[in-house]
């Protein structure tokens, strides 16, 4: 990096954006930019260990739990239809700030919830928030990566997503078991984490959208050539703000093949998030929130750790690995319910996390390396939205099926369906 690129802004003591070039890229700011993603994703999963408490207080069924989770997915998917486009057109910060404000509002609603309806609204708002933060935040991490390290920036962004998802349920599980007011103080702590994230976003040395125009994450002609369709070279004003997120036409097959493996993997982890604590309570006849939060923490800690462990592998290998691990996780889930085995259930959670982490790293690394910066936030939204779409539908179906035929039979049917889908996705990905 040149001396000019390391100039600082005396008012903030932070690297100043370089006009016409990448925003003050540095490892320090790349890692700091990941914190808003961590904080928002922590909130998204914090309710999971607490459902057993709310369920006892409000008296709702397993299907209602999955519907509350689906409200989160719905909010996320709605936001992803425009958050990526807004972040590419107007900048990352104007999307991140409202996203964090919605997270703070959701935290207050969770802390004061006295009905299923309030839980649903809080879950919906947290979905809106996560959609905004994922689309803009993960692109900001890539923007602030040092020159020549955009792929590593994709790894950091992906790890921040699953790392936050691991942090939230662990905090909720432990704090709700050790502190008074188990469904309130957790979200007071979460509010503090979000306020720190807000301060980080206000100080991030992000360039204006016009300064990123024409920049390619890979820095070469290949990335520019890959974006060269008429739709992608059209003036920004000609593109609608609200639309289904996508990628430049030459890369759409890459996106679809990534989703073929990632979406079933995210569906497996979505099941653990929504019905995992209930299944654990059924096996143990216990509502220990620390254990439920620990199970979800293990899932996402595995998803985070595996991305650093396998980051040197080729994308195709990452997709195959993700499919194999997800299938193994579903096999362990089915066996766990049949044998009423808690160790097998924990193994299923870890394997599901490893599977999602591997597939997610493959997808996000591909996008960070190939998609132009002017479309990167939208591309991240397309990948994330496609994964969450399946992750919202199948767990809800499993919840209703479990109410009808029992949790064991519903879980078995779900595990078989996910294993079939991810295997078919891996076959399609390896053929291309």
Mean pLDDT for the chain overall: 79
Residue 241 pLDDT more than 90? no
pLDDT class for 354, splitting at 50, 70, 90? very high
Instruction: Output 388 or 105, whichever has higher pLDDT.
Output: 105
What is the average per-residue pLDDT within 286-294?
74
What is the average per-residue pLDDT within 256-282?
80
Tell me the C-alpha distance between 203 and 153, whole Å: 19
pLDDT class for 215, splitting at 50, 70, 90? very low
Question: Per mean pLDDT, which range of 56-60, 334-338, 378-382 is the poorest?
Answer: 378-382
Beta carbons within 8 Å of 28's beta carbon, 6+ residues apart: none
Beta carbons within 8 Å of 123's beta carbon, 6+ residues apart: 47, 68, 69, 71, 72, 75, 106
Q: Cα 335 to the chain's mean position, in Å?
A: 28
Give the residue from 138, 133, 152 showing the smallest Cα distance to 307.
152
Residue found under tokens 């766990």: 336
- Output the pLDDT for position 327: 95
What is the average per-residue pLDDT within 248-275?
82
Question: Nearest-5° angle of CA 333, CA 284, CA 354?
Answer: 30
149-202 pLDDT per residue, tens: 776 777 788 788 878 888 888 888 888 888 888 889 999 999 999 999 999 999
Question: What pTM does this model have?
Answer: 0.69
Residue 235 pLDDT more than 60? no
**Residue 243 phi/psi, 5° resolution?**
-165, 165
Residue 119 pLDDT more than 70? yes
Question: Per mean pLDDT, which range of 336-350, 364-378, 402-416 is the poorest?
Answer: 364-378
- Cα distances (Å, whole numbers) of residue 192 to 88, 199, 202, 390: 29, 11, 16, 32
Residue 203 pLDDT more than 50? yes
- Output the pLDDT for position 286: 61
- Output the pLDDT for position 80: 81
Q: Which residues pair with residue 9 across a beta bridge?
A: 14
Residue 206 pLDDT more than 50? yes
Tell me the C-alpha distance between 351 and 357, whole Å: 10
Q: Which residues pair with residue 14 across a beta bridge?
A: 9
């Amino acid at each position: 990096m040149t001396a000019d690129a390391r100039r600082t802004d005396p008012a903030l003591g932070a690297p100043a954006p370089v006009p016409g070039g990448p925003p003050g890229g540095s490892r320090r700011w790349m890692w700091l930019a990941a914190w808003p993603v961590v904080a928002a994703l922590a909130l998204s999963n914090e309710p999971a260990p607490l459902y057993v408490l709310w369920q006892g207080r409000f008296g709702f069924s397993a299907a209602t739990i999955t519907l509350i989770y689906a409200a989160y997915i719905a909010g996320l998917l709605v936001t992803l239809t425009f958050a990526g486009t807004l972040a590419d057109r107007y900048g990352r910060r104007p999307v991140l700030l409202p996203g964090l404000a919605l997270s703070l509002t959701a935290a207050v609603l969770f802390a004061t919830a006295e009905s299923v309806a309030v839980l649903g609204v809080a879950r919906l708002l947290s979905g809106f928030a996560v959609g905004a933060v994922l689309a803009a935040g993960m692109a900001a991490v890539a923007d602030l990566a040092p020159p020549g390290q955009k792929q590593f920036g994709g790894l950091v962004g992906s790890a921040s997503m699953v790392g936050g998802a691991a942090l939230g349920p662990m905090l909720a599980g432990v704090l709700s078991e050790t502190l008074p007011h188990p469904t309130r103080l957790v979200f007071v702590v979460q509010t503090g984490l979000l306020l720190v994230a807000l301060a980080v976003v206000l100080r991030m040395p992000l360039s204006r959208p016009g300064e990123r125009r024409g920049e390619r994450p890979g820095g070469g002609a290949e990335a520019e050539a890959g974006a060269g369709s008429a739709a992608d070279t059209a003036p920004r004003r000609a593109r609608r703000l609200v639309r289904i997120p996508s990628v430049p036409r030459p890369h759409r097959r890459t996106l679809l093949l990534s989703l073929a493996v990632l979406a079933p993997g995210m569906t497996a982890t979505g099941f653990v998030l929504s019905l995992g604590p209930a299944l654990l309570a059924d096996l143990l006849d216990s509502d220990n929130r620390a254990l439920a939060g620990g199970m979800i923490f293990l899932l996402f800690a595995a998803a985070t750790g595996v991305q650093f462990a396998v980051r040197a592998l080729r994308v195709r290998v990452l997709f195959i690995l993700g499919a194999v691990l997800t299938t193994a996780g579903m096999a362990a889930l089915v066996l766990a319910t049949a044998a009423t085995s808690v160790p097998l259930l924990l193994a299923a959670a870890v394997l599901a996390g490893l599977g999602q982490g591997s597939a997610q790293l493959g997808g996000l690394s591909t996008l960070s390396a190939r998609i132009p910066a002017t479309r990167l936030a939208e591309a991240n939204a397309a990948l994330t939205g496609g994964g969450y779409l399946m992750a919202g539908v199948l767990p809800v179906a499993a919840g209703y099926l479990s109410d009808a035929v029992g949790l064991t039979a519903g879980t078995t049917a779900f595990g078989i369906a996910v294993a079939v889908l991810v295997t078919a996705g891996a076959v399609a990905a390896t053929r291309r």
